[in-house]
Amino acid sequence: MRLTTSLIVIFALILSAAPSTRAQTLGEYWDTAEEESKYYKIVEIPMPEGTAIEAGSFEVLPDDRLAIGTRRGDIFLVEGAFDDYPQPTYKRFASGLDEVLGMSFKDDAFYITQQTEVTKITDENGDGLADRFRTLSDAWGFRNYHEFAFGSKLDPEGNIWVALCLSKSYQSDEPFRGWCVKVTPDGKTIPICSGIRSPCGIGPNEHGVMFYAESQGPWNGSCSLKVLEPGGFMGHPASFRWYDLAENLEKPKVEPNTPSRLMIERARVKELVPYAVVFPYIKMGRSISGFMVDRTGGKFGPFENQIFVGDFSLSVVMRATTEKINGVWQGACYPFREGLATGLLACQFTPQGDLIVGGTNRGWPVRGPREFAIQRIDWTGIVPFEIKQLNALPDGFRVTFTKPVDPKIASQPESYQLATYTHLYRQGYGSPEVDQTTPTVTEATVSDDGLAVQLKIDGLVQGHVHDFDLSPIRSAEGGKLVHTKAYYTLNEIPKRPSDVTAMK
């Protein structure tokens, strides 16, 4: 695929504007692909020769076909994508749409989110081709290529939540750019919150609460998962200008200062919603994207009810867990699988319990070598030795593992290296890590089953990312961790153990 002149210009602008070098643009491997492959293999989903399919959304149909919505405006229906050795067949169901970045299917109808609207699409005469397109909502404006619209799956009430990208990162030139809106089954559009910059994924967390994936940039020091709090402000004030159109919401009385810190501005701007999970830049993502919760019942390994998140630039998949502390969402992210073939935009769990991923390299630099690809991540049935999750405690953290640990090593405080930092909350693009500290683990208590360790820590810092390195830890069998790093965003320190909302 040749880049057009405009895309070449965009590519150059991104490289010059971003605060990274060319080497950083290509990312830094975790250097774990070979070890990861023992537990999670990558399976190719072949495409028809000569057909460019830049996947932007997926859906599993009741008859076990895979539906693919593309950035080029097509919907393909695929048979055989879930086979052990896939040789799928593709049928184009619809075309002429505009960047299909959200898709659901219910009662013989597709509900898709494209740049300018949410659309209900049906096949009225049963010939396998779309023939009725009904606009459910086009309540927002559009005039710039960067004004993407990402739509959720249908929520339990049949609503679609739409995260609307700003105009050119810094501006909101059209109505509701930089907002989340909810589109009801009868087409009513309800403004939810302002302050979004550049989303690349939207959906429920493991507790069923709607989140979105935010990209590093102005007013966002690093990529993050954020909760879509009704009436909340996600952090970028350019979208304040549209509160006159949101009769159900009140405009914040003050705007954030720049440069500052998020913790400081939370005290000033009561509507400001902090990042729930920060993905430290380059270490854990450069452009996080579509995400989905593992509801496979254990078919995908030991991470049931965790969030799996793609990254466009680094062509990796990561994990995340969230919990609500003192009424505020926060949590951790963890490496999972590197070495995917292209920039990831979307992911979808299959009925067999595998994870379909796909995307494109169009317009931005990505680590993956291919222009577009659809791949599947399959669990081999072997449980990896991993940091399963982190949970905040009043005096430290609980670390849970996928296998029992060596109790002698795990009970030694020096087995846990910990650093903290935050980011500048500012109008400028991105941020370095700032305000670094080095807490001390003073006590490590291993559970009787060896699957968890409770850490007492001197020097917890509210509002900081707590960056863990557990390289010395070994399993009871002597094995090393597949990934030794994990990152917890400590917005709130629990007042007492009961303040922790446990994972479902």
Contact indicator for 361, 14 with CB cutoff of 8 Å: no
Please provide residue 18's backbone torsions phi and psi, each rounded to the nearest 5 degrees: -70, 145
**Coil/strand/helix, residue 99:** coil
Residue 308 pLDDT > 60: yes
Distance CA 421, CA 260 (A): 14
Residue 51 pLDDT > 80: yes
**Coil/strand/helix, residue 33:** helix
What are the start-end ranges of the E strands in 277-412? Answer: 277-279, 288-293, 307-311, 316-325, 328-337, 344-349, 355-360, 372-379, 387-393, 396-401
Domain boundaries, the chain: 5-379, 388-499
Mean pLDDT value across residues 435-444: 98
Q: What token pair was written down for 242?
A: 């549209």
Mean pLDDT value across residues 302-314: 97
DSSP 475: B
Structure confidence at residue 169 as a pLDDT band (50, 70, 90) = confident
- Strand-pairing partners, residue 132, are 122
**Coil/strand/helix, residue 387:** strand
pTM of full prediction above 0.85: yes
Integer distance in angstroms from the first to the last C-alpha of the chain? Answer: 45
Q: What token pair was written down for 465?
A: 């990312």
Structure confidence at residue 22 as a pLDDT band (50, 70, 90) = very low
Per-residue pLDDT of 247-267, as tens digits, reads 999 999 999 999 999 999 999
C-alpha distances in angstroms, 234 versus 41, 99, 214, 370?
37, 24, 9, 34
The whole-angstrom distance between residue 484's C-alpha and the CA centroid of its chain comes to 21
CATH code for residues 5-379 = 2.120.10.30
Q: What token pair was written down for 6?
A: 């405009």
Q: What is the pLDDT of residue 499?
A: 53
**CATH class for domain 388-499?**
mainly beta
What single string gives the DSSP state of each residue in 242-306? GGGG-TTS---SSPPPSSB-HHHHHHH-TTBPPPSEEE-TTTS-SSEEEEEE--STTTT-S-TT-
Contact indicator for 126, 110 with CB cutoff of 8 Å: no
Q: What is the pLDDT of residue 303?
A: 98
Q: What is the pLDDT of residue 20?
A: 35
Please provide residue 317's backbone torsions phi and psi, each rounded to the nearest 5 degrees: -120, 135
Residue 72 pLDDT > 90: yes
Q: What is the pLDDT of residue 497?
A: 64
Q: What token pair was written down for 171?
A: 């501006």
Distance CA 213, CA 201 (A): 5
Q: What token pair was written down for 131?
A: 């023939």
- Closest residue by Cα to residue 102 from 154, 38, 178, 64: 154
Per-residue pLDDT of 333-390, as tens digits, reads 999 999 999 999 999 999 999 999 999 998 778 999 999 999 999 999 999 999 999 9
Q: What is the pLDDT of residue 498?
A: 54
Mean pLDDT value across residues 94-123: 97
- Closest residue by Cα to residue 157 from 126, 132, 184, 179: 184
The domains spanning 5-379 and 388-499 adopt the same CATH topology: no
Per-residue pLDDT of 30-45, as tens digits, reads 999 999 999 999 999 9
Parallel, antiparallel, or unpaired: how do β-strands 328-337 and 344-349 relate?
unpaired
Contact indicator for 231, 271 with CB cutoff of 8 Å: yes
Mean pLDDT, the chain, integer: 93
